[in-house]
């Protein structure tokens, strides 16, 4: 951990005092503040305008009861959240997560990260996040529908295409967005396509949105490798998770000629030396909602492991695409010992601060999530553009837009890192570049 400038230390202390027990939120704020040491030295106007303090306090935080009835007639009570963090650059924008571990601190860390990620895309979107501690695992479609309808019965009054635009995240995919959109339309009596992104292609969704986060992460890795005249082609890749981000990261890595040999879920990991069969993985995880043991059972050379973790599998490229703090210091040491050359975060904050230090001290190219996984929300913004103009674009055109956006995100990070004397440090570059964009807009808007 690096020291903070006294002004930033004071801001951080306020964050700790105001948000007790929210460890992930503290972790996310600390990382950004450490990068800003060099910025406050050159830009006193941000300190005078209390911009950093304001950024750490959400504009609005909503927490509400979500009652629903299961298929046996039992009533369940979950908690719903929406944290509208910062709207300096556009309407609040960010996903909804349904997972039993969701609490206010998790939603705040995700919302805080989202502000900077969204700024990096160069598109007009502010930052927010939401979700619930509802666990969709093992629930029928009818139960998920009733839950989504109940959540939206409160959420609808807070969102809108010019106000706040939710999308998916862990546990929220096309099925959930469909039920949420249906209920929003029913309550408001408005066909407001731009109120949610990640919609189905039959009712206003965008081509490439499903693939975008995973594809974007690999495109960012491609750009990072190119700075050292390296390519993805022929390299061994490991991916954690086997959900939306992991599946399409694996697919894009294979399209670029890499060999993806492992992936994981919360029950263990699979090693498949023949290369992960992405079509089968999609069938098992997306269609059947099954487990990786089901995948392994259908592949002759694949092995399923419940001891240890996927980071022990030798690889040159590692793509953590599951959840926060899934890759710790020990895992980073194992990756380094096995000769890893690049790590790109498809998930939000999957590497612990310890892991990031170990990787960067060993000269491993490291892409933080707020840069590497920005392709998902960027394509959500492209969905909003298509909805606003009542248009829909072809796959190839949309993928080209995504590719260019990721090239630009990489460039913004690299240039800011250079300008502030830390060449190759994508964490510093991402935080500095996005902070300055949001901070300048906030200064322009006055004290609000
Ligand atoms: P999914 O729900 O589709 O998949 C999540 C995957 O991660 C599953 O394989 C799941 O395993 C695993 N996982 C989740 N939580 C845990 C946990 N606590 N411990 C171990 N494994 C876990 O989610 P996404 O792929 O959409 O999201 C993955 C990550 O990417 C998240 O950090 C999310 O915030 C981030 N992200 C997502 C974007 C999107 O557009 N979807 C955009 C940018 C970032 P299991 O099935 O066993 O639970
Ligand atoms: O973390 C993320 O960027 C997302 N879950 C996607 C957000 C979005 O609005 O598409």
Per-residue pLDDT reduced to its tens digit, 297-326: 999 999 999 999 999 999 999 999 999 999
| pLDDT surpasses 80 at 1 | no
Query: Which one of the listed residues 93, 108, 117, 129 is annotated catalytic?
Result: 129
Range 431-442 burial, b when 16+ CB lie within 10 A, else e: bbbbbbbbbbbb
Residue 259, pLDDT score? 98
Q: How many helices (H) and strands (E) does the chain have?
A: 17, 12
In 3-state terms, what secondary structure has residue 61?
strand
370 counts as catalytic: no
Taking CA atoms only, the protein residue closest to ligand 1 atom 13 is 322
| pLDDT surpasses 80 at 6 | yes
Q: Give me the domains of the chain, ranges plus CATH numbers.
A: 60-192 (3.40.50.10860), 212-367 (3.40.50.720)
Residue 53, pLDDT score? 97
CA distance 136 to 218: 28
Atom of ligand 2 nearest to the CA of 377: 10
Taking CA atoms only, the protein residue closest to ligand 1 atom 2 is 170
Q: Please state, for a pLDDT cut of 90, what percent of the chain lies above it.
A: 99
| pLDDT surpasses 80 at 64 | yes
- Ligand 1 pocket test target in 139, 211, 241, 377 with most atoms within 8 Å of CB: 241
Per-residue pLDDT reduced to its tens digit, 363-373: 999 999 999 99
- What do you get for the CA distance between the two ends of the chain, in Å? 32
Q: Is 373 in the pocket of ligand 1 (CB under 6 A)?
A: yes
Residue 216, pLDDT score? 99
Element (H, E) at 213: helix 209-226
Range 342-368 burial, b when 16+ CB lie within 10 A, else e: bbbbbbbbbbbbbbbbbbbeeebbbbb
Atom of ligand 1 nearest to the CA of 324: 32
Ligand 2 centroid distance, CA of 419 (Å): 29
The pLDDT of 105-125, averaged and rounded, is 98
- Ligand 2 pocket test target in 213, 216, 384 with most atoms within 8 Å of CB: 213
Per-residue pLDDT reduced to its tens digit, 164-186: 999 999 999 999 999 999 999 99
Average pLDDT, the chain: 98
Ligand 2 centroid distance, CA of 377 (Å): 5
Residue 11, pLDDT score? 97
Residue 243, pLDDT score? 98
pTM equals 0.98
CA distance 116 to 439: 11
Per-residue pLDDT reduced to its tens digit, 15-40: 999 999 999 999 999 999 999 999 99
In 3-state terms, what secondary structure has residue 263?
strand
């Amino acid at each position: 951990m690096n020291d903070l400038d006294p002004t930033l230390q004071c801001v951080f202390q306020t964050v700790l005092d105001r948000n007790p027990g929210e460890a992930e939120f503290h972790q996310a704020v600390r990382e950004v503040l450490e990068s800003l040491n060099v910025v406050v030295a050159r830009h006193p106007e941000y300190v005078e305008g209390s911009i950093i303090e304001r950024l750490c306090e959400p504009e609005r935080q909503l927490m509400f009861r979500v009652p629903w009835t299961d298929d046996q007639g039992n009533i369940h009570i979950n908690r719903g959240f929406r944290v509208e963090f910062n709207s300096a650059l556009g309407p609040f924008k960010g996903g909804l997560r349904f997972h039993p571990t969701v609490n206010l601190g998790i939603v705040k860390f995700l919302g805080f990260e989202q502000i900077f990620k969204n700024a990096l895309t160069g598109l007009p979107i502010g930052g927010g996040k939401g979700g619930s501690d509802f666990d969709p695992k093992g629930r029928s479609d009818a139960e998920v529908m009733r839950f989504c309808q109940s959540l939206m019965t409160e959420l609808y009054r807070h969102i809108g295409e010019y106000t706040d635009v939710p999308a998916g995240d862990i546990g929220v995919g096309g099925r959930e967005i469909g039920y949420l959109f249906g209920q929003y339309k029913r309550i408001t009596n408005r066909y407001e396509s731009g109120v949610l992104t990640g919609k189905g292609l039959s009712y206003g969704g965008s081509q490439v949105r499903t693939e975008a986060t995973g594809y974007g992460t690999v495109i960012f890795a491609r750009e990072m490798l190119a700075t050292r005249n390296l390519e993805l082609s022929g390299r061994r890749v490991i991916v954690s998770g086997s959900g939306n981000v992991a599946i399409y990261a694996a697919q894009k890595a294979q399209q670029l000629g890499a060999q993806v040999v492992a992936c994981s879920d919360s029950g263990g990991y699979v090693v498949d030396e023949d290369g992960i069969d992405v079509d089968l993985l999609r069938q098992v995880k997306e269609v059947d909602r099954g487990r990786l043991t089901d995948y392994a059972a259908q592949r002759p050379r694949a092995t399923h492991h419940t001891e240890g973790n996927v980071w022990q599998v030798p690889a040159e490229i590692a793509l953590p695409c599951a959840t926060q703090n899934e890759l710790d210091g020990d895992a980073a040491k194992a990756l380094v010992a096995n000769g890893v050359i690049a790590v790109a975060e498809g998930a939000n904050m999957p590497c612990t601060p310890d892991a990031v230090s170990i990787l960067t001290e060993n000269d491993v190219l490291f892409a933080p999530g707020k840069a590497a996984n920005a392709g998902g929300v960027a394509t959500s913004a492209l969905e909003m553009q298509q909805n606003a103009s009542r248009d829909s674009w072809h796959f190839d055109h949309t993928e080209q837009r995504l590719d260019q956006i990721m090239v630009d995100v990489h460039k913004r990070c690299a240039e800011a890192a250079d300008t502030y004397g830390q060449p190759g440090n994508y964490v510093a570059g991402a935080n500095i570049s996005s902070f300055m964009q949001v901070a300048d807009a906030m200064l322009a808007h006055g004290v609000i």
